[in-house]
A and B are shown apart, each in its own frame.
Chain A
Amino acid sequence: MDRAAPRRFDGGGPRAFLHRLRHGDEVAHVLTLTFAAVILLLTSMLVYELWVNSHLSRIKFGWMFFWTRTWDPVFDNFGAAPFIYGTLVTSIVSLVIAVPLGLAAAIFLSELAPRRMSDTISFLIDLLAAVPSVIYGLLGIFIVVPLMRTTVGPILINTLGHVPVLSQFFKGPNYGVGFLTAGIVLAIMVVPFIISVSREVLLTVPREQREAALALGATRWEATWKVVVPWARTGILGSVFLALARALGETMAVTMVIGNDPKIAASLFAPGYTIAAVIANEFTEATGDLYLSALIELGLVLFLMTFILNGLARLLIVATERGGGHPS
């Protein structure tokens, strides 16, 4: 029954350490700490493996890897430009669609909807985030692609295709697969993240802010748009970065609808390729060492992009939740 004996809290010192060791505290501490350290080890190994295994490609192509537009496994000539372009374009298209939609829905959920309704809808939207990406790809192939080819594409070409500047992006043959289709599918996939994070942030805006605006005679919309949203804008921006990081790294759904053609085209209807898609498609058939190395370097690029964006997003969200994003 020695564990019932009174413990002496004499601070540090070897005797206290021995005491804690005998009672298992130090053992438990060290044990859990070891497992926690494994996470650190795994993450460092991940960076290390990406760096080491892309060695051949980094040596051979250097910085030109980012500007070269050819991707030619036969002659061992690899450039990342078409993939980086495709990744950025599809992500931007998805944000252009998802941000207004997500922000509007978040405003509805935090400002207008009664609490119960807001919680129910948020729950359903969270479920949308849990749907595996391969299922979005499946629906993309069999619903969105035919819809783009027969209905949405022609409508866009006939309307926006005649507007002076926009016609750049809405012209050319429409195959159904391409940047725009991938962007639309991505938008559906990232909108739940924008909604749930933005709603959380909007809910942290103090009640007095709304009441003050309403008391000054603002309409509900004015109070929301001119007071509540600016207050939460840093956090909302954080949610956008988070969504962008998701969109950049998304693989399956994009691979299935983008057309997988390493070209840089201004038209959003043109088929393209993204970093994640080319890794998914060609990794198992990469025969040469240089080929594999170039694919792994693409993985490294993707890792760094999402790493930076996630870091920024977290900073922004923490900043809003601490002190409010209001101009100080």
Chain B
Amino acid sequence: MSRLLLIWRKSLNVVMLTLTGVAAFGVVAVLFLILGYLVWNGGKSLNFDFFTQLPKPVGETGGGMANAIVGSLKLLFLAAMMGLPIGLMAGVYLAEFGGKTFAYIIRYTTDLLNGVPSIVIGIFAYSLAVLPVKHFSAIAGGVALGIMVIPITVRSTEEFLRAVPGSLREGAMALGASKWRTIATVVLPAAKGGIITGVLLALARVAGETAPLLFTAFSNRFWSPGWGQPIASLPVMIYTYAIAPYDDWHRQAWAAGLVLLALVLIANIGTRVVLSRGGGGRSA
């Protein structure tokens, strides 16, 4: 009897442990499936025109998404201009100056803001930047993405500043430097690599956001000069092209998907490689 139980326990052990391995490798396989499918489908439709031409009118094949690529870059620029100063300074505050209660409140609020669904951020940006002027604009899209950049930047900045060893600060202070001078000339340079990484990851994350742009930046089938007009972006283009009933649009959606995914993955892998080489200002 006990022998039978032992066999049961041992086989259960083997079966369950195998299953956990299958689960882990299965999830990783999904990543390669996504990559493979996008490279296969997107690669077929990706050509030079995609990067240089405007979208063609419905019914005509060909054309590209040059305006959406430039649009995405403009929106990212606006997001960086609006979100990064707040994120970086708040990160410095939390790591270097933060008291108890107020720092706790800020940290909690940042986490809260990070968890807000992106579509709700879109509504917020709409009421801030679209309602008062009554039209969609690149600025409004920048506001939406800028708000999303803030919490990610705050957290990574604080984390990397805290990783700078205290002895560096003490050394600078012992030489008579004031606190802000210590931060500006010793602590920040030491954490530079990590902070830049955090910023890049934050921008990579919002570069793929679609929902908050739908009713802030809207979209545009033409160039959008200046900052006050509706503007096209890659994610929104992928969305509109994917749900449209035209085969040629589907092919372009795959091409755009490939370009977007390539950008996001390169940013993620690149920063990770830099970090693992010790560019993060970690003590060891």
Point out residues on A near B: beta carbons under 8 Å: 3-7, 20, 23-25, 27-29, 31-40, 42-43, 45-46, 49-50, 53, 100-102, 104-105, 107-109, 111-113, 121, 123-128, 130-135, 137-139, 141-143, 188, 191-192, 195, 219-222, 225, 245, 248-252, 256, 276, 279-280, 283-284, 295-296, 299, 302-303, 306-307, 310-311, 314
> Is the pair A7, B214 in contact by a Cβ cutoff of 8 Å?
no
Residues in B neighbouring A36, C-beta threshold 8 A? 89-90, 93-94, 102, 106
* Extra contacts besides A133-B208, A250-B117, A252-B211 (5): CB < 8 Å: A28-B183, A35-B93, A39-B113, A46-B124, A132-B208
Q: Let me know if A303 and B117 touch, CB within 8 A.
A: yes
Known contacts A131-B34, A142-B250; A276/B27 CB under 8 A: no
When chains A and B are docked, how far (Å) is the Cα of A222 from the Cα of B122? 48
Cα–Cα, bound, A53→B177 (Å):
50
**B93 engages A42 (CB within 8 Å):** no
Question: How many Å from the CB of B156 to the closest CB on chain A?
Answer: 14
Q: Report whether B24 and A50 are in contact in the complex, using a CB–CB cutoff of 8 Å.
A: no
Q: When the two chains form their complex, are residues A131 and B269 in contact, meaning their CB atoms are under 8 A apart?
A: no
| Chain B interface category by residue count | 35 or more
Q: Which of B46-54, B162-170, B258-266 contacts A (4 or more CB under 8 A)?
A: B258-266
Of all A-B residue pairs in the complex, the 9 with the closest CB atoms, nearest first, are: A132-B208, A249-B117, A35-B89, A28-B180, A32-B93, A104-B23, A108-B20, A310-B115, A23-B178
In the complex, A121→B22 CA distance in Å? 12
- Stretch in B57-65, B191-199, B238-246 with 4+ CB within 8 Å of A: B238-246
Cross-chain contact A104 with B243 (CB below 8 angstroms): no
Tell me how far the C-beta of B132 lies from the nearest C-beta in chain A, rounded to whole angstroms.
Answer: 12
Instruction: Chain B residues near A128: list those with CB within 8 A.
Output: 27-28, 30-31, 34
Q: Find chain B residues with CB under 8 A from A32 CB.
A: 89-90, 92-93, 96-97
Closest B residue, CB atoms, query A101: B23
Which B residues, 60 to 112, have Cβ-Cβ distances below 8 Å to chain A?
85-86, 89-90, 92-94, 96-97, 102, 105-106, 109-112
Contacts of A113 in B (CB 8 A): 21, 24
Determine the residue in chain A with the shortest Cβ distance to B89: A35
Query: B117, A252: Cβ atoms under 8 Å?
Result: no
B4 within 8 A of A: no
Q: Does B181 contact A (CB under 8 A)?
A: yes
Q: For residue A152, give the distance in angstroms from its CB to the closest CB of chain B.
A: 16
How would residues 143 to 183 of chain B score, 1 for a CB under 8 Å from any chain A CB and 0 otherwise? Answer: 00001001100100000000000000000000111111101
- Given A43-B113, A108-B21, A296-B123, the answer on whether A127 and B89 have CB atoms closer than 8 Å is no
Q: Mark B208-246, 1 if CB is under 8 A from A, else 0.
A: 111100110010000000000000000100110011000
The answer to whether B211 touches A276 (Cβ under 8 A) is: yes
Least CB distance from B141 to A in Å reads 13
Q: B274 in the interface, Cβ–Cβ < 8 Å? A: no
Residues of B near A195 (CB, < 8 A) are: 24, 27
Central interface residue in A28, A42, A124, by most chain B CB within 10 Å? A28
Q: Which of B16, B181, B214, B242 contacts A221 (CB 8 A)?
A: B16
Shortest distance in angstroms between B7's beta carbon and chain A's nearest beta carbon? 11
What residues on A are CB-neighbors of B261 within 8 Å? 131-132, 135
> Which residues on B sit within 8 Å (CB–CB) of A108?
17, 20-21, 23-24
Contacts of B112 in A (CB 8 A): 43, 307, 310-311
Main secondary structure of the interface of B (DSSP, over half): helix
Q: Mark B32-52, 1 if CB is under 8 A from A, else 0.
A: 001001100100000000000
Contact B17 A220 (CB under 8 A): yes
Q: Contacting B147 at CB < 8 Å: which of A42, A127, A306?
A: A42
* Residues A39 and B24 in contact, CB atoms below 8 Å apart: no
- Write the chain A residue with the least CB distance to B127: A49
- In the complex the two chains form, what is the Cα distance from A20 to B178 in whole Å? 8
Residues of A within 8 A of B28 (CB): 121, 124-125, 128
Residue of A nearest to B235 (CB): A134
Bound together, the chains give a CA A192 to CA B28 distance in angstroms of: 10
Out of A39, A45, A50, A256, name the residue touching B123 (CB < 8 Å).
A50
- The verdict on A38 contacting B176 (CB below 8 Å), with A124-B28, A134-B238, A137-B242 known, is no
Whole-angstrom distance between the Cβ of B257 and the nearest chain A Cβ: 5
How far apart are A316's CB and chain B's nearest CB, in angstroms? 14
In the assembly, what is the distance between CA of A312 and CA of B53, in Å? Answer: 49
In the assembled complex, the Cα of A104 lies from the Cα of B23 at a distance in Å of: 6
Most buried by A among B89, B105, B150, B181: B89
**Interface residue from A25, A125, A220 paired with B13 (Cβ < 8 Å):** A220
Which residues on the A side are within 8 Å of B215 (C-beta)? 283-284
Closest to A218 in B: B9
Q: Does B138 contact A (CB under 8 A)?
A: no
Q: Which residues of A contact B268 (CB under 8 A)?
A: 126-127, 130
B133 on the A face (CB < 8 A):
no
Contact at A135–B238, with CB atoms within 8 Å? yes
Which residues on the A side are within 8 Å of B17 (C-beta)?
108, 112, 220-221
Residue numbers in A under 8 Å from B90 (CB-CB): 32, 35-36, 38-39
CA distance A144 to B41 in the complex (A): 15
CB nearest neighbor in A for B98: A36
In the complex the two chains form, what is the Cα distance from A42 to B116 in whole Å?
A: 12
Q: Who on chain B is nearest to A249 by CB?
A: B117
Q: How far is the CB of B6 from chain A (nearest CB, A)?
A: 9
Take A104-B19, A134-B235, A138-B242 as given contacts and tell me if A314 and B116 are in contact as well, using a CB distance cutoff of 8 Å: no
Q: For residue A252, which residue of chain B has the nearest CB?
A: B210
Closest B residue, CB atoms, query A313: B115
Contact with A along B122-142 (1 / 0, CB 8 A): 111011100000000000000
On whether the beta carbons of A222 and B9 are closer than 8 Å, the reply is yes
